[in-house]
Amino acid sequence: MSLNAESTAFRSALEVIRAVEPRVADAIGAELADQRESLKLIASENYASPATLLAMGNWFSDKYAEGTIGRRFYAGCQNVDTVEALAAEHARELFGAAHAYVQPHSGIDANLVAFWAILADRVESPALKKAQVRQVNDLTEADWFALRRELGNQRMLGMSLDAGGHLTHGFRPNISGKMFDQRSYGTDPATGLIDYDNVAEAAREFKPLILVAGYSAYPRKVNFRIMREIADSVGATFMVDMAHFAGLVAGKVFTGDFDPVPHAHIVTTTTHKSLRGPRGGMVLCGPELADQVDRGCPMVLGGPLPHVMAAKAVALAEARRPDFADYAQRIVDNARALAEGLTRRGAKLVTGGTDNHLVLIDVTGYGLTGRQAEQALLDSGIVTNRNAVPQDPNGAWYTSGIRIGTPALTSRGLGTAEMDATAELIHTVLTQTTSGESKAKYVLDPALADKVSKQASDLLTTFPLYPAVDLG
Ligand code: DSN
């Protein structure tokens, strides 16, 4: 029997790798087996297509291409130019953006490129004129000192971590927390929702240089039109980090006030979450910031990864197909079904539900910490991650929440009926787990964990992962 193209490609690749270091080939095979077996509910993970995966494994990895298309610091970049231009074109078309920069290696990198572009743009306009220099690169240390003072210590207003914001939005464990004087806006304690009046008040008081919207654990839509009005009212640059929900924007589930691209000055994203591309980042902006953004490498980033840009071009081309909109809608339908299934069984959800791809369970109602719940679910074949909830009594390490998301299971084809079955499995584990002698310890009958693992695995048998890939 002849093998299909995907099986042939992956088998051949593993054979070539095995000849050099068999343990790596084994680990790659084991990773596929593990992913096939587990009920993956990590809200930030997904499964890229075989075409996207294969686009990364080639000699583009061997090429240096610092600079941008047509303006490289190395010779011989014509083919890199081709894939970078294709990825950027697909990104512009998909999101309706004037400019796309597809080099960032990750979301953190994309955010750093954006921060730099915003700062440099501010510096180069009135302040640079004052310093009588042409370019930000020409500034002396003394100029920088003066400019930092002038910019009011580079203030950033972003969503607080426990309300679902991201580390790179000015928090201490990330360099953005050192670069910026940060203040946070939280959510309404009664509803768990963003209180736009409260954001506006914080902006008026703090006068940030950058107002950031975007989250990694907020289960609701954000009104970007209102956020832009707030930014404009205080002269701030409005930046949106859409890493988590880029697939919902691409699939036109988030439109109008909820599509960040027409409202933000600059938008950053990763490409591997709901967008279902390769692991990497991207920046979208208007013409005003385009030149500064394009200086990302070497100003902020190490050499671009042309093999990943090739994969971004493939994945973005896939996201432009009509069936991606259907996929994006199913992600949200599944999240809603999961939320409803959990609520019906008595779970307490942050904000009471979801209108995006993720659900945040407050596990204090089960007498557990997030850490205990995460591990008990993992023992039962359900992969999630612990996450802080607003005003979390257990802090950011142990937490009181479990974040679950539907992009990956939706890619496998699971639908709303399977989400209800998943809710039942999660509910069973959380009600049967008891707290142990520390915030990390818990008690769960191993027989029950095995039973749930088997049920989770049975749920997946009708929805094989990478069905066309047979490693033999
Ligand atoms: N690590 C990603 C997440 O899980 O949300 C964000 O950086």
CATH number at residue 149: 3.40.640.10
Q: Which of the four pLDDT bands, split at 50, 70 and 90, describes residue 124?
A: low
| Residue 260 located in a structural domain | yes
> How far is ligand 1, taken at its centre, from the CA of residue 443, in Å?
28
Under 8 Å between Cβ of 309 and 281? no
* Residues 133-143 pLDDT 10s: 556 666 676 76
- Does residue 104 have its Cβ closer than 6 Å to ligand 1? no
Average pLDDT of the chain is 94
Q: pLDDT at position 151, please?
A: 60
For 149, other C-beta atoms within 10 Å of its C-beta total 9
Q: pLDDT at position 171, please?
A: 87
For 125, other C-beta atoms within 10 Å of its C-beta total 11
- Looking at the fold, whether 293 and 279 belong to one and the same domain comes out as yes
- Looking at the fold, whether 233 and 275 belong to one and the same domain comes out as yes
Q: pLDDT at position 174, please?
A: 87
**Which residues, 6 or more positions from 363, have their beta carbon under 8 angstroms from its beta carbon?**
369, 370, 372, 373, 400, 401, 402, 430
* Residues 166-214 pLDDT 10s: 999 988 788 888 888 899 999 999 999 999 999 999 999 999 999 999 9
Count of residues in the chain: 472
Alpha carbons 109 and 204: distance in angstroms, whole number: 29
Ligand 1 closest atom vs CA 167: 7
- Looking at the fold, whether 405 and 289 belong to one and the same domain comes out as no
- Does residue 216 have its Cβ closer than 6 Å to ligand 1? yes
- Side-chain-side CA neighbours of 358 within 13 Å: the count stands at 30
| Residue 409 located in a structural domain | yes
> How far is ligand 1, taken at its centre, from the CA of residue 107, in Å?
9
| Residue 40 located in a structural domain | no
Q: Which residue has the tokens 């009594």?
A: 393
Under 8 Å between Cβ of 61 and 423? no
Q: Which residue has the tokens 């700062």?
A: 119
* Residues 329-359 pLDDT 10s: 999 999 999 999 999 999 999 999 999 999 9
- Looking at the fold, whether 239 and 307 belong to one and the same domain comes out as yes
- Does residue 268 have its Cβ closer than 6 Å to ligand 1? no
Closest residue to atom 3 of ligand 1, CA basis: 44
- Looking at the fold, whether 353 and 210 belong to one and the same domain comes out as no
Torsion of the alpha carbons at 28, 31, 35 and 37, rounded to the nearest 10: 120
- Looking at the fold, whether 137 and 257 belong to one and the same domain comes out as yes
Q: pLDDT at position 429, please?
A: 98
Amino acid type, 36: R
- Does residue 380 have its Cβ closer than 6 Å to ligand 1? no
Rounded alpha-carbon distances, angstroms, from residue 11 to 5, 23, 26, 49, 108: 10, 15, 12, 16, 34
Q: pLDDT at position 131, please?
A: 54
Average pLDDT over residues 375-393: 96
- Does residue 44 have its Cβ closer than 6 Å to ligand 1? yes
Q: Look at strands 348-349 and 358-362 and give their pairing.
A: antiparallel
Q: pLDDT above 90 covers what percent of the chain?
A: 88
> How far is ligand 1, taken at its centre, from the CA of residue 396, in Å?
14
- Looking at the fold, whether 299 and 356 belong to one and the same domain comes out as no
Domain range enclosing 389: 323-460
- Looking at the fold, whether 222 and 133 belong to one and the same domain comes out as yes
Closest residue to atom 5 of ligand 1, CA basis: 216
Per-residue DSSP letter, 351 = G
Give me the active site residues, please.
Answer: 64, 66, 241, 270, 273, 279
- Looking at the fold, whether 327 and 315 belong to one and the same domain comes out as no
* Residues 419-449 pLDDT 10s: 999 999 999 999 999 999 999 999 999 999 9
Q: Which of the four pLDDT bands, split at 50, 70 and 90, describes residue 2?
A: confident
> How far is ligand 1, taken at its centre, from the CA of residue 166, in Å?
8
Under 8 Å between Cβ of 261 and 84? no
Ligand 1 closest atom vs CA 217: 5
- Looking at the fold, whether 392 and 370 belong to one and the same domain comes out as yes
- E strands, 318-436, where? 348-349, 358-362, 382-383, 385-387, 401-405, 434-435
For 196, other C-beta atoms within 10 Å of its C-beta total 15
Quote the tokens at residue 84.
């970078």
* Residues 446-457 pLDDT 10s: 999 999 999 999
Which domain-ending residue is among 319, 337, 354? Answer: 319
Q: Which residue in 304, 341, 317, 313 sits closest to 415, CA to CA?
A: 341
| Residue 435 located in a structural domain | yes
Q: Which of the four pLDDT bands, split at 50, 70 and 90, describes residue 246?
A: very high
Q: pLDDT at position 103, please?
A: 98
- Looking at the fold, whether 228 and 282 belong to one and the same domain comes out as yes
- Does residue 107 have its Cβ closer than 6 Å to ligand 1? yes
Q: pLDDT above 70 covers what percent of the chain?
A: 94
* Residues 60-107 pLDDT 10s: 999 999 999 999 999 999 999 999 999 999 999 999 999 999 999 999
Closest residue to atom 1 of ligand 1, CA basis: 44
- Does residue 274 have its Cβ closer than 6 Å to ligand 1? no
Strand order in the sheet with 358-362: 348-349, 358-362, 401-405, 385-387
- Looking at the fold, whether 315 and 328 belong to one and the same domain comes out as no
What is the helix (H) or strand (E) element at residue 316, kind and residue range? helix 306-319
Q: pLDDT at position 273, please?
A: 98
Per-residue pLDDT for 17 more than 90? yes
Per-residue pLDDT for 225 more than 90? yes
